[in-house]
Chain A
Amino acid sequence: MFSSVSRADDSVLGRWWWSVDRTTLLLVCLLIVIGLFMSITASPAVTQHTSKGMFTFVQKHILFLPLSIGLLLSISVMNVRSVRLLAFFAMAVSLGLLVAVLLVGTELNGSRRWIDFGLFTLQPTELAKPAFAVVSAWLLSRQRSHPETRGALVAFGLYAGIMVLLLLQTDLSQSGLLTTIFFAQLFLLGVSLWWFVVLIPAGLGVAGLAYLTVPYVYQRVNGFFWGGADDKYQVVQSISAFRNGNWFGRGPGEGIQKVALPDAHTDFILAVVGEEFGLFACLVVVCIMLIIIMRGVFRASYARSLFILLAIGGLLTQFGTQAFINMSSTLGMMIPTGMTLPFISYGGSSLIGMGLTVGFLLALSRRGAWENDNRH
């Protein structure tokens, strides 16, 4: 169908088709299909412990998917200016929501990070991350083109503000991710590497402080490094799921281990992939993630605008780090944190947030995107 779009097609769709990163688009579609399939096989394993219907999570996943895909596609058509406007808007909304969470947030699984909208609950952090990546990229690039605007200072203020809000909900993993995005952008901006000699130990110092002061962090860290099988129950279950799957998996829906795996539909979805579809399927997922990152890097590397380079760099850092943290904690390489696997994990907020992230990514990585960015 798409092949019938002529290169000379002057319509919005035609221009979009020929300029958008079709490889990434295809890979994201693949992730969405995998995610849909995985929600079908993981949902009963999770709901059987609850009063929910067997396919509750499938239904919700299907409900959020069009929203996410719609967001993704409509953003990817936008020009740079609109993307920036949308990012500012999303940033404002998510800042508002982050404040609202502190006041009227809903508790779920022991933390207060969600806002209940009746029909669905929303985790504002998921929106804040892509919005921040774009906004901060713009502010930082302004610092270079118009130093008098003190964009870097504003960006740092924004970063600090979101950090305070995240730390108030004691959401350490998300604040860590936000820090990673910001640091990566500073790095790309060409900040002297000496800064990182200061900043990275400072970050580690904050992490150490969190270990000493926040009880759940203390427990998780201790459990991971020195705990017995009970303390790292999830990781033990997850690893045996991978082993159970072996090379080719037990077959769709044939997983046994997934039943014993808490959060099989969200944080530990890769273990279900491993158990039912085997090592090769997991490697395919890892490859898809990596190719998406490399495609983004490839596109960003010939962007002629610092803003686009920083924004894509930030968005890729968000996407790549999140996937990395999710996969490595599922594999017991790292302390489990509440990170979702892009498009595969269940989670409405995560799907919408990812729609936003990849939408921005596709829009900014379109060929010639920087040329209609009149700010340069």
Chain B
Amino acid sequence: MSSFSPRMSGRAQHFTSPALASRLDPGYHRSAPAPHDYMADAQIEAQQATAAAASPAPTSGFLNNDLRIGRGRLMLLALLFMLGYLAIGARLVWLTGLDGPQVASVGQTPAAPVHKRADILDRNGAVLAKTLYRPALVAHPRKIRDVDEAFSAIMQVVPDLNPTNLLERLSNTDRVEVQIKRNLTPSQVKQLNSKGIIGLYYPKLPSRHYPNGDLFSHPVGYTDIDTKGLAGMEYIFEGQLSDLAKTVKTSLDVGLQYIVKSELETQMEAFQAKRAAAVLMDVNSGEVLSMVSLPSFDPADPTASSRTARRNSVTQGAIELGSTFKLFTIAAALDRGAITTRDTFDVSKPLHVVDRVINDYHRYTGRMDAKHILQESSNIGAAQIGLQLGGDQLRSFLDDLGMLSISQVEVPEIDTPQFPARMTDVSTATVSYGHGIAVSPLHVAAGVAALANGGIRVEPTLLKASEPSTRPMGPRVLSQETSHIMLDFMRSIVASGTGKKARVESVAIGGKTGTADKYGSDEVVSSFVSVFPIDNPKYVLYVVFDEPKGRADTFNFATGGWVAAPVTCRIINRLISPLGIMPVRNTDDMWQMMQKTADSQDPISNEPASCN
């Protein structure tokens, strides 16, 4: 640096010698510089010629001090710039040349979906949800020449638009692009296009379609306008459907779902229930064949329905489900050896537990064994069995059945089961007949499936099993023997107990009614859980009605036996053939024979099975 400046200035002297300067610049003399300037220049030139060019010394002696400092600092400034620009060069090389073009596509905003969102299929391959590309009407307000012309043309072809809103959008030049309407028909596009309006576009946008309407709204769910999953399996399988573009094969069945839903709807209307839910599950694999929650909603336009309609009553709504729990209490007591089938319990008077009095709907006389406690659905009897078993034992049995943990089913709409933190005598007694514990209907169905399949816990799933399973896979939670006893009990409930109205003409079923008082109101939750065919259990069906109202023809009863049992009968009747269940030829004889063996306290009924 120090050698740079003098050498350069040395060269410069050739041009700045007084003689040359005066020749080059005629104004030189006119501006009358001081004579000694000439001398200085001449001297410098002479000195430069003789002194070593590399030495900085000669110049400094002749320059004024300010210039000398200035030059030095100018070099520092130059160095600073050189370093700065070198850094830019290095960054350029590193960024562009060496770091490579790996993120080359960032700029194509907004990122177009790479894959088309995959379909959701039922167990037989029928489409439950599909993405279709349909033209939308999009306007670029800045390109529209005549807003009025565009406005009237659009209104003519798509008359259902809001005129003020449309006009506002078309004249909003702040925005590059405004969307006017989605899902145009081809003829609408043709009509609009033929009007030749500049600034209107018809990009094909994806939209999600549900060919079965509201049949599968709850389990399948729905997406937002950009086909991003928001609820149900659409939400859970977002990654698989949109990123991998891989179809989801569900365990659901369009035909079965239709039967279950239509029967449920009819009964819900007949009893003016607020809500209703039904789930049909394979007792061995846990596959859910049908999942219905009413009221339903249109998955293509979910916001048109209320939030409560969008609740999935099968997986959500941890509610007290009542007497159905007696099945679990008695199964636990039998399995853990707390009682035998021959033990009897006094059901003749209300049971006092600490400060609580436990009552039955009817007053019975004498003592009852476990089977009759179930047949008559005696709270007093169930509570005694529960207390004999002990709260912790009951709780651990329910836990083994999966009743106390969050369901792993493939929808996001799930609730946490609620149960007493400590099993006091009171809570043990109430949990024994299904109060003071709140789980989803799906939990109950899975629990009953375990009672029915020989004692193996099942995990409910909405995905189709890769291979049909005849044997349940999972941890054993009760013995085969207890399972057999429970099937026999369930059969007797339908044969001559509270579940008589569930008697199906041509297939032997077992089940249990449930009627739970809703806390703080006179309303009830009425349900019926059934297992069929009872001699070789394959399916469990659980039907729940929230706040059904009694009718004249049911003597104002709205219990599980009156509301849920008949619809169970009707549903199973219609399921026999699609499920391929071999019907029993001897219809009513079968039930009468069972009734006799059931040794009911009730008089033998001869009424035929007619699903009333």
Contacts and interface: CB of A to CB of B under 8 A. Distances in A.
B186 interface: no
Contacts of B99: 243
The interface residues of chain A, by DSSP majority, are classed as: helix
A303 B96 CA distance: 40
Contacts of A237: 106-107
A187 B75 CA distance: 11
Contacts of B78: 293-294, 297
A297 B95 CA distance: 30
Interface in B25-75: 25-28, 31-33, 37, 63-64, 66-67, 69-71, 73-75
Interface stretch (B9-17, B249-257, B429-437): B9-17
Interface residues of B, number: 58
B490 to A, nearest CB: 58
Interface in A303-351: 303-306, 309-310, 313, 316-317, 320, 324, 327-328, 331-333
Contact of B31 (A302, A313, A372): A372
Interface in A42-72: 49-51
Contact of B74 (A10, A301, A320): A301
Contact of B97 (A247, A289, A310, A317): A247
A240 B107 contact: yes
Given A187-B73, A333-B87, A301 B5 contact: yes
Nearest to A293: B81
Interface size for chain A: under 10, 10 to 19, 20 to 34, or 35 or more residues?
35 or more
Interface of B, helix, strand, loop or mixed by DSSP: helix
A316 B88 CA distance: 18
B77 interface: yes
Contacts, number: 175
Nearest to A258: B107
B28 A310 contact: no
A246 B97 CA distance: 5
Contact of A367 (B15, B67, B70, B75): B15
Given A257-B107, A286-B92, A371-B33, A324 B84 contact: yes
Given A188-B73, A297-B74, A304-B67, A331 B92 contact: yes
B26 A10 contact: yes
A331 B91 contact: yes
A316 B91 CA distance: 23
B67 A306 contact: yes
Contacts of A293: 78, 81, 85
A243 B108 contact: no
Nearest to A328: B88
A246 B101 contact: yes
B24 A317 contact: no
Contacts of A278: 96
Interface in B123-144: 142-143
Report the 7 A-B pairs with minimum CB-CB distance, sorted nearest first. A260-B107, A190-B69, A51-B142, A302-B9, A257-B107, A279-B96, A297-B78
Given A236-B106, A241-B107, 16 more contacts: A188-B73, A189-B66, A243-B103, A245-B96, A257-B107, A297-B78, A303-B67, A304-B16, A316-B81, A320-B84, A327-B88, A331-B91, A333-B87, A333-B88, A371-B33, A371-B37
Interface of A: 10, 15, 18-19, 49-51, 79, 144, 184, 187-190, 236-237, 239-247, 256-257, 259-261, 274, 278-279, 282-283, 286, 289-290, 293-294, 297-298, 300-306, 309-310, 313, 316-317, 320, 324, 327-328, 331-333, 367-368, 371-372, 374
